[in-house]
Amino acid sequence: MDPMPKVTLIGAGSAVFARQLVTDILAVDGLDAGVFALVDIDAGRLDLARRIVERLVELSGKAWRVDASTERLDVLANTDYVINSIEVAGLKNVRFDYDIPMRYGVDQCIGDTIGPGGIFKALRTGPAWLDIVSDVQRIAPKAAILNYTNPMSILTLAALRTVDLPVVGLCHSVQGTSRQLADYLGIDYADMTWECAGINHNAWFTKLELAGEDLYPRLRDRARLPEIYEQDPVRFEVMLDLGAFVTESSGHFSEYVPYFRKRPDLIQRYTRAGYLGESGFYANNWPRWRRENDESIEAMLRGDKPVPLARSLEYGADIIEAIECGRSASIHGNVLNNGSIDNLPEGCVEVECRVDRDGIKAQHFGALPEQLAALNRAHMAVHELVVDALIERDRQKAKYALMLDPLTAAVCSVDEIDRLFEEMWNAERESLSAFG
């Protein structure tokens, strides 16, 4: 019998994201029919998503049905896959997430997964997310949950701790960075073999080889060439000093560690424009990007712009194809560390997972080099405290998490962190009503 899955996209109003995932699923050979159920609490953005998904189905020539509702309970029944891409009160708070920490000297580039911005995004998003996964458990108990919303590690761990369903967090940093590395090395990607593990945005390429040859000596030599180094300064510094290349971009990764953003002279030395570390890059640009993305979708619908139909490197469709069509796949997913990485605690880790008709199975990696595991453990402690704060509705645990955040702690005293937290809480109080 041909597979006819039901895929529910929650937060489908992030229409560019929904467009790409639907494009990927429609590109799977053999997935010729099914249901896309689109959910968003913003009726206008939901309508935009519905129209572009219907257009994609039409262009594919396949027999997928498209349902849409602002109420997830209307469409969750019989769902096989829930894809989460919600955004909770982001536009209202993106300035607070950047401007308030900046007054205390905490200089963020992206600030949506860690640091003050990431922790407060988790506090705003987490309660809604836990309501969603609870509804999925109750109404669609056979569904697999694929989370794309940041902060990835915190939200995925919160779901794993509260529902008894398969949950995996999906990012594109592993597959994207592995291809960047082949480019930096000047080799064909298909010829390179690699291993990567850690936590989201802090996973490490512990093995890079070409026909059995260790590529790290060559990469270290390449990193000393200005034209190569300048493409990724922070990541090359980390590789040269700590021994491995990390998965997240230079700008975003510079927020995860205490070395690059705690003083103006260091920011000037190590960061560059845009994703290479520009201060406030996300806060200053994300509202415009969001608006332009919506305008781009409208242009596609009018016929003023071509509709891209190429399958992306995102793992969502790979998972659905493997389970529905029996074509096994290897992905890197964010899952519970149930013995995959020997020297990290039980928390959310990013490791290779094999996927087949029986579902998603995390693979055993072994131990990370201790200096890399130590950096991961520092963030896993923050994740645990924020997850506890969400489950227990305990704002004090969220404050403890901020006190342990590596960059914030490198810049501020505990008293300053206390005041920073309270100022952000007061500014964002309207979006934190779940905490009472």
Which residues make Cβ contacts (< 8 Å) with residue 30, sequence separation at least 6? 2, 3, 324, 325
CA distances from 395 to 102, 385, 388 (A): 22, 10, 9
Residues known to be catalytic: 172
Assess contact for 282 and 111: CB atoms under 8 A. yes
Extract the tokens encoding 54: 């219907």
End-to-end CA distance of the chain: 50
198: its two tokens = 């850690």
- Tell me if 289 sits within 8 A of 301, measured CB to CB: no
- DSSP state letters, 78-147: T-SEEEE----SHHHHHHHHHHHHHHTT---SS-SSSHHHHHHHHHHHHHHHHHHHHHHHHH-TT-EEEE
288 by DSSP, 3-state: which? helix
Q: Which two tokens stand for residue 352?
A: 């290779």
Q: What are phi and psi of 68, to 5 degrees?
A: -150, 140
What is the rounded CA–CA span in Å between residue 390 and residue 378?
A: 19
- The three-state secondary structure class of 6 is strand
How many angstroms separate the CA atoms of 10 and 86, rounded? 6
At 51, phi and psi to the nearest 5? Answer: -65, -40
